Chain A
């Protein structure tokens, strides 16, 4: 536990949108310790999601160094990046991004399926299923196992997304505006859940534009014009 969960320094990222070059991150440096709950606050377009994608190895920075749990992101092969994303990182998205063809239980089990080969899955299937059901029970979705995402409320969908993010027991949970698409009451419930998991030792980095929600975090960082303030 002595190592930091993540350590980013001088991250730059720019995008090309048509003829315009958008410099989204301008030298972001950030460290997160194991067990921390960090909220990154910023206005829309401030680069919060881009930062989160880089931290979750979904994207690469143009410049700067990023170390995730001792792994230098720049030196990781794409195979290793996929592996780390599967085993060590859990994503929660604003729009849930559940797979419409699968039911609740199947959605939650998808990362576990990605984690194992076909033969490995045969040995792990029962355990993964039990784990997914337990997780869904904890999130109050015991009666929704066979429901498809279209049959759930927004809060329920986000809870399914949280279960999916947690199924492989990731070292870090990355939440991108997890309550952005929910009413305030449901949003608070989701935040309570995240806090509960953090209390149990789960490292969380959440990006949001809502100051009130960010208050649940142990540390708040402001991102403005691509720089941390």
Chain B
């Protein structure tokens, strides 16, 4: 009983121990903040990476792609009941021109809404986020309302910025906002024009119907002909200005020149739905040859998407699967003898697979991936055109390869994992300072308490008991330090964005530049397991620090302790 009593009393009354408490608290807080922020970044990237390509990805073994993909998906669902959904995707590269801005882009041909069953593509879309029927043909009214809402955002940022005092106002930002406002206003105007033309077509169509409904003797066929020509004329103009669903494009939000981020992290778009975009690409579906001539097609921007992976968002655009298949000449190849007979099947570059929820863990996914690879082998044996290449080595059939999302995105995740490990080790080593501090402080405390040790021994306390007093004292110090550190670290991480804002306002320097970084906010989640491990680590570190002084105290002879001057 005396051991617990004395170690708690020393903790309360030995103010020197508070220095050790503060040292432990600061180290725990520092490590918690670093680990939590890196964990936050890592889980965001993992979430984004998984959301990008589904759970399992089957990649073509050559640029010729994967044939019979729809048949394979049906076959796969029979072979692997764990598979919930799958969708083919085409990837190729090209040039995107929007206004005067040209970007080299990765073009991704997708099937909407099929892709939504496999990936989290819908998340963070500008127009269709939360929209049930995501497609390349969202309602015009929704496009207009989202554009108008964005104009309001631009106006509110402009107002906020221009109301700042002269010395704090960012004129460059105001200029950028002004240009964005003009662009977005123009695009909105175009959408409204499209809406009006559609209404015109509808009105003319009603007039035609009314005319056709008249008795034959009163019907004016000439009027009907004129109205029909009028509809065709308007529809032609409409198709030119606002391309049909198969010629619509979704842009990656990070494409150069399409948007920018304010210092407060708001995304301001320069390009909104309705804008014309021209894609130029080399059709590689029949293999790479000097006779390949580039394909060019004009698209209408219908939305933008954000995966949170900068490397994807900064260079990816999404177009309808069928359209890209045609542009890349990956569509079906017909027999020269019989133009109606398909000689080579249509192809895709990749098949993305979503598994059912109980099989989504990493270990289960590896099992499913093995099953998918077995299915690929079997299917290839039965249908060689599934994996057939159009290269000069066409007779060599290399089946496509399946990878889990983690394997596929290892290069993105690995970078952050390595950074996290390096920084954690670095801060862990720095935290050894707390062990040395605890050692030094407890050595001093034991030296100051030698008489007390003698008294405790004189009244019957054992050597082990004395040692336990100081070990308990050290553990209590570490426990208190880690509790303070964890509490401080938790609240720091939870409010890190507000703290960063406050520091920015106070000192005028942004530590986390939202214009540059991938995420608009610093991750602010704290994992309970991280806290638990840190508490355990701090207590072990405290015990290591106090061990030698405690042994010294325990080994002290009572007579020597009582005589100590």
Hey, which bits of chain A sit against chain B, CB under 8 A?
Answer: 53, 56, 58-59, 78-79, 82-83, 85-87, 91, 93, 97-102, 106, 110-111, 113-118, 120-121, 164
**A83 CA to B459 CA, complexed, in Å:** 9
Let me know if A101 and B559 touch, CB within 8 A: no
**A100 CA to B13 CA, complexed, in Å:** 9
B2 at interface by CB-CB < 8 Å: yes
**A164 CA to B2 CA, complexed, in Å:** 14
Instruction: Map CB proximity to A onto B553-565 as digits: 1 under 8 Å, 0 otherwise.
Output: 0000111001000
Q: How far is the CB of A177 from chain B (nearest CB, A)?
A: 12
B456, B459, B462, B465: residue with the most chain A Cβ atoms closer than 10 Å: B459
* A101-B1 contact in complex given A93-B562, A114-B460, C-beta closer than 8 Å: no
Instruction: Map CB proximity to A onto B1-40 as digits: 1 under 8 Å, 0 otherwise.
Output: 1101110011011100000000000000000000000000
**A37 CA to B392 CA, complexed, in Å:** 115
Let me know if B459 and A110 touch, CB within 8 A: yes
Q: Give the secondary structure class of A's interface.
A: helix
Residues of B within 8 A of A91 (CB): 458-459
Residues of B within 8 A of A102 (CB): 9
Sampled A-B contacts (29; CB under 8 Å): A53-B559, A58-B457, A58-B558, A58-B562, A59-B558, A82-B460, A85-B458, A85-B460, A86-B459, A86-B460, A86-B461, A91-B458, A93-B562, A97-B562, A100-B13, A100-B452, A101-B13, A102-B9, A110-B2, A110-B456, A111-B459, A114-B2, A114-B460, A114-B461, A114-B465, A115-B460, A116-B1, A118-B4, A164-B459
**A223 CA to B465 CA, complexed, in Å:** 35
B140 at interface by CB-CB < 8 Å: no
Let me know if A113 and B562 touch, CB within 8 A: no
**A131 CA to B460 CA, complexed, in Å:** 19
Let me know if B1 and A113 touch, CB within 8 A: yes
Let me know if B559 and A82 touch, CB within 8 A: no
**A187 CA to B370 CA, complexed, in Å:** 92
**A106 CA to B459 CA, complexed, in Å:** 14
**A14 CA to B2 CA, complexed, in Å:** 33
Q: How far is the CB of B3 from chain A (nearest CB, A)?
A: 9
B387 at interface by CB-CB < 8 Å: no
Looking across the interface, which residue of chain A has its beta carbon closest to that of B560? A59
Looking across the interface, which residue of chain B has its beta carbon closest to that of A148? B13
Looking across the interface, which residue of chain B has its beta carbon closest to that of A103? B9
Residues of B within 8 A of A113 (CB): 1-2, 5
B454 at interface by CB-CB < 8 Å: yes
Let me know if B1 and A78 touch, CB within 8 A: no
| Besides A78-B463, A99-B455, 19 new A-B residue pairs in contact (Cβ under 8 A), listed by A number | A53-B562, A58-B558, A83-B460, A85-B459, A86-B461, A87-B460, A91-B458, A99-B452, A110-B456, A110-B459, A111-B459, A113-B1, A114-B1, A114-B2, A114-B460, A117-B1, A118-B4, A121-B1, A164-B459
**A204 CA to B90 CA, complexed, in Å:** 100
* A79-B1 contact in complex given A93-B562, A101-B13, A110-B456, C-beta closer than 8 Å: no
Let me know if B459 and A114 touch, CB within 8 A: yes
Let me know if B462 and A79 touch, CB within 8 A: yes
Let me know if A59 and B559 touch, CB within 8 A: yes
Let me know if B462 and A82 touch, CB within 8 A: yes
B451 at interface by CB-CB < 8 Å: yes
Q: How far is the CB of B471 from chain A (nearest CB, A)?
A: 16
Residues of B within 8 A of A115 (CB): 460
Residues of B within 8 A of A164 (CB): 459
Let me know if B1 and A58 touch, CB within 8 A: no
Let me know if A78 and B462 touch, CB within 8 A: yes
**A56 CA to B10 CA, complexed, in Å:** 27
Q: How far is the CB of B534 from chain A (nearest CB, A)?
A: 29
Looking across the interface, which residue of chain A has its beta carbon closest to that of B2? A113
Residues of B within 8 A of A118 (CB): 1, 4
Let me know if B458 and A82 touch, CB within 8 A: no
**A106 CA to B305 CA, complexed, in Å:** 70
> Considering the complex of A and B, which 5 residue pairs feature the smallest CB-CB distances, nearest first?
A86-B460, A113-B2, A121-B1, A101-B13, A111-B459
* A111-B10 contact in complex given A58-B559, A97-B451, A121-B1, C-beta closer than 8 Å: no
Residues of A within 8 A of B463 (CB): 78
Residues of A within 8 A of B456 (CB): 110, 114
Residues of A within 8 A of B462 (CB): 78-79, 82
Q: How far is the CB of B449 from chain A (nearest CB, A)?
A: 9
**A86 CA to B462 CA, complexed, in Å:** 10
**B5, B6, B14, B458: the one within 8 Å of A58 (CB):** B458
A82, A102, A116, A120: residue with the most chain B Cβ atoms closer than 10 Å: A82
**A82 CA to B465 CA, complexed, in Å:** 11
**A86 CA to B558 CA, complexed, in Å:** 13
**A93 CA to B9 CA, complexed, in Å:** 23
**A110 CA to B454 CA, complexed, in Å:** 13
Q: How far is the CB of A157 from chain B (nearest CB, A)?
A: 13
**A114 CA to B461 CA, complexed, in Å:** 6
**A97 CA to B454 CA, complexed, in Å:** 9
**A193 CA to B77 CA, complexed, in Å:** 97
Residues of A within 8 A of B559 (CB): 53, 58-59
**A118 CA to B465 CA, complexed, in Å:** 13
**A106 CA to B455 CA, complexed, in Å:** 14
**A128 CA to B45 CA, complexed, in Å:** 63
A113, A114, A115, A120: residue with the most chain B Cβ atoms closer than 10 Å: A114
Residues of B within 8 A of A93 (CB): 562
Residues of B within 8 A of A87 (CB): 460
Q: How far is the CB of B451 from chain A (nearest CB, A)?
A: 6
Q: How far is the CB of B178 from chain A (nearest CB, A)?
A: 70
**A132 CA to B451 CA, complexed, in Å:** 23
Looking across the interface, which residue of chain B has its beta carbon closest to that of A15? B559
Let me know if B9 and A82 touch, CB within 8 A: no
Residues of B within 8 A of A97 (CB): 451, 454-455, 458, 562
* A101-B454 contact in complex given A86-B459, A111-B460, A118-B1, C-beta closer than 8 Å: no
**B10, B460, B461: the one within 8 Å of A101 (CB):** B10
* A56-B2 contact in complex given A78-B463, A97-B562, A102-B9, C-beta closer than 8 Å: no
Q: How far is the CB of B107 from chain A (nearest CB, A)?
A: 73
Residues of A within 8 A of B13 (CB): 100-101
